Amino acid sequence: MTSPLPFWSRSSSCFGPRAVGSGLLLPLLLIAISSAGCGSRAPRGRPTPKADRRAAPSAAASSQDQANPAAAAQPMSREVRDKLLEGAMDVLGNLEAYEESVAFPQVFDRLNQWSHAVAAAGAADRWHLDPLLETLPERLRGEGVTKGIDELAFDATADVLTLRDQRWLADVAATARGDAIEDLAVARSLFEWTVRSLAAASDPPMVPTDANPGSRWFSTGEILLAGRASAPQRAWVFLELVRHAGLDGVMLATGDPADGTLRPWIPAVLCGEDAYLFDPGYGLPIPGPGGEGVATARQAASDPTILASMSLPDRPYPVQATDIERLTVLVPATPWSLSRRMHLLDRQLAGARRVDLAIDATTVATRALAALPGQASTPANADQPEAAASPGAERRRGLWEFPWETLARRRALRPAVDAALGKELAVMGVALQQTDANRETRAFRPLYAARLREFRGALDGPDGAKMAYLAARPGNAVIAEMLAGLPPPQAEQVKRMYDELKGDATYWLGVLTLTEKEYETAVDYLDRMTLQANPEGVWSDAARVNLARARLALGEREEAARLLREDASPQRFGSRLQAERLVPSPQ
């Protein structure tokens, strides 16, 4: 009665439970619970064949058409094409209700039926290979990465996983923006979600080296599920959210690409004619003049006090005004966002299905260059993206290497990446059994379901994220009953898995209730049930920083400052800055 683990990785299909022996099977990790007992209606399990046939034409139907040339030759109507696309995107939008071994082939089949039908209908295709692809090193844009970039046919694994990740990002962008309307307010809301929801990690680095190669080379979807991210991973997720919110964002880099000193710095979001600065490593926007608002790149270059305000007495901020007089723009594109098929699909998605899948990297780069120090307010010829904003600008725009480095490292360091994924995401595959009022028993992965529902903003009710997180916190008596009769080594391993399941769910309930402004409840989850229960746990630093946010919202400034000063995570310098702004240290 188990569900296969989700396809976390493009380098490997699935992973076994964390820290368990090869003899331990997932059936040992099932708990029988009653829907009446946990207050939750049993979610759907594997879609039935009947339901599958209702949703969209199946692969079998496609084979029948191939056997009947007359039927296959008939053009597919727009209505049928739309239903195929709707069926594929609906499955991706509710993955917790399916087994991936069933869902992914359905999505692949429907997408290719749709793609073939659109091509047969002669749909206009204005796609062209973006010239900024040539700015990447050859090792990152070789045939193994860009092969098929000009094709319309979808890949059964990589493309489906990419669409899954983009569906989740679009869901998060739609919910995290809240009530914000103005572009800058939207960007700030998305940034706050990013630093609140993705605990600071140090792996992988912005630029890997032999001494620090990194191992957590995760896709954006895997980053969202894990809830942990290094500074470049936070930047990547943030810029993806910005794009899904209808805004343009880029990475900025200092140094000179001509002499090899180029260094990626921080993201900038384009609002109007300005580029606003956000530092995900510090967990803070760069403050504007007088410490108010968010600074623009032009303000930071012309007013040395802006970046100087990010310094601590024992830790100068690594970038100062003189370093950003000539910045380089790096667009966060991937092989998929530049591909022909995603370009075509992007134009067909609208309304609730809307997912921004394609990016015109050259146009975004040109707009961004015009918002940087030393540039005119508006590009000289905005209708011609190949026109640079100023002489020499061709050398000051390119693609951000980090997403492409992620792909390369996943191939080169596959065992290490797979191990990291298994360590952090295996708990997502732990399934519980639910028995509904009709005494039907179905398997349900509570932590996985909770994460996806939270992405969609489905928080309350029997099918909400809160109830799923609570279901992932079985009581000690239930766990003890489950462990009874197991050999000691297996019992210890299973208990570790359940402890991890429970700890993850508890922490994320704290973050969720903080987001919902249920501050006293958040304090209980983050303090008593996370920090006090496991002071050295994997969530301790992130819980401390989010607990500080809750304490501050309750008016406890000194306690919030104390917690921030105790932060030992890679975000600690930003936390200390926040603490100083709340309660300055005695001189």
Give, as one character, the DSSP assignment of residue 11: S
Contacts 24+ apart (CB under 8 A), 378-382: 378/273
Check pLDDT > 50 for residue 34.
no
For the chain, how many helices (H) and strands (E)? Answer: 25, 11
3-state secondary structure of 433: strand
Percent of the chain exceeding pLDDT 70 equals 83
pLDDT of res. 390: 52
Give, as one character, the DSSP assignment of residue 511: H
CA end-to-end span of the chain: 63
DSSP string, 145-210: HHTTTT--SPPTTHHHHHHHHHHHHHHHHHHHTTT--SHHHHHHHHHHHHHHHSEE---S-SS--S
Check pLDDT > 90 for residue 367.
yes
Check pLDDT > 80 for residue 470.
yes
CB atoms within 10 A of CB 383: 7
pLDDT digits (tens, 9 = 90+) for 493-523: 888 999 999 999 999 999 999 999 999 999 9
pLDDT digits (tens, 9 = 90+) for 399-453: 999 999 999 999 999 999 999 999 999 999 998 877 766 777 878 899 999 999 9
Distance from the Cα of residue 520 to its chain's centroid = 28
Q: What torsion do the CA atoms of 80, 85, 91, 93 make, to the nearest 10 degrees?
A: -140
Percent of the chain exceeding pLDDT 90 equals 68
Of the two residues 378 and 194, the one the predictor is more confident about is: 194
pLDDT of res. 1: 34
**Which pLDDT band, with edges at 50, 70 and 90, does 348 fall under?**
confident
The residue with tokens 């980053």 is 223
pLDDT of res. 376: 53
pLDDT of res. 574: 98
Check pLDDT > 90 for residue 559.
yes
**Which pLDDT band, with edges at 50, 70 and 90, does 77 fall under?**
confident
Query: What average pLDDT does the segment 374-380 reach?
Result: 55
**Which pLDDT band, with edges at 50, 70 and 90, does 48 fall under?**
very low
Query: What average pLDDT does the segment 241-267 reach?
Result: 95
Asked if residues 329 and 368 have their Cβ atoms less than 8 Å apart, the reply is yes
Range in 37-41, 229-233, 446-450 the model is least confident about: 37-41
Check pLDDT > 70 for residue 394.
no
**Which pLDDT band, with edges at 50, 70 and 90, does 467 fall under?**
very high
**Which pLDDT band, with edges at 50, 70 and 90, does 296 fall under?**
very high
3-state secondary structure of 430: coil
3-state secondary structure of 250: strand
Residue type, 292: E
Of the two residues 543 and 482, the one the predictor is more confident about is: 543
Q: What torsion do the CA atoms of 452, 455, 457, 460 make, to the nearest 10 degrees?
A: 40
pLDDT of res. 18: 31
pLDDT of res. 356: 94
Task: At 93, list the tokens.
Answer: 């939008």
CA dist 92 and 390 (Å) reads 43
Cα distances from 294 to residues 233, 271, 276, in angstroms, run: 21, 11, 6
pLDDT of res. 176: 97
Its pTM stands at: 0.87
pLDDT of res. 6: 41
Query: What average pLDDT does the segment 243-272 reach?
Result: 95
Check pLDDT > 70 for residue 108.
yes
pLDDT of res. 494: 87
Of the two residues 333 and 483, the one the predictor is more confident about is: 333
* Average pLDDT of the chain to the nearest whole number: 85
Of the two residues 392 and 71, the one the predictor is more confident about is: 392
Check pLDDT > 90 for residue 562.
yes
Nearest residue to 257 via CA among 137, 124, 106: 137
pLDDT of res. 441: 80
Q: b/e per residue, 148-178, with b = 16+ CB within 10 A?
A: bbeebebbeeebbbbbbbbbbbbbbbbbbbe
pLDDT of res. 74: 64
pLDDT of res. 68: 44
Cα distances from 257 to residues 327, 332, 378, 391, in angstroms, run: 10, 17, 24, 15
Asked if residues 339 and 241 have their Cβ atoms less than 8 Å apart, the reply is no
| Strand-pair partners of 397 | 329
Spans of all domains in the chain: 41-120, 131-155+179-413
Query: What average pLDDT does the segment 80-100 reach?
Result: 90
3-state secondary structure of 225: helix
Check pLDDT > 90 for residue 340.
yes
**Which pLDDT band, with edges at 50, 70 and 90, does 120 fall under?**
confident
pLDDT digits (tens, 9 = 90+) for 137-151: 999 998 778 888 999
| Strand-pair partners of 23 | none
Query: What average pLDDT does the segment 315-336 reach?
Result: 96
pLDDT of res. 375: 67
Q: What torsion do the CA atoms of 181, 185, 186, 190 make, to the nearest 10 degrees?
A: -150
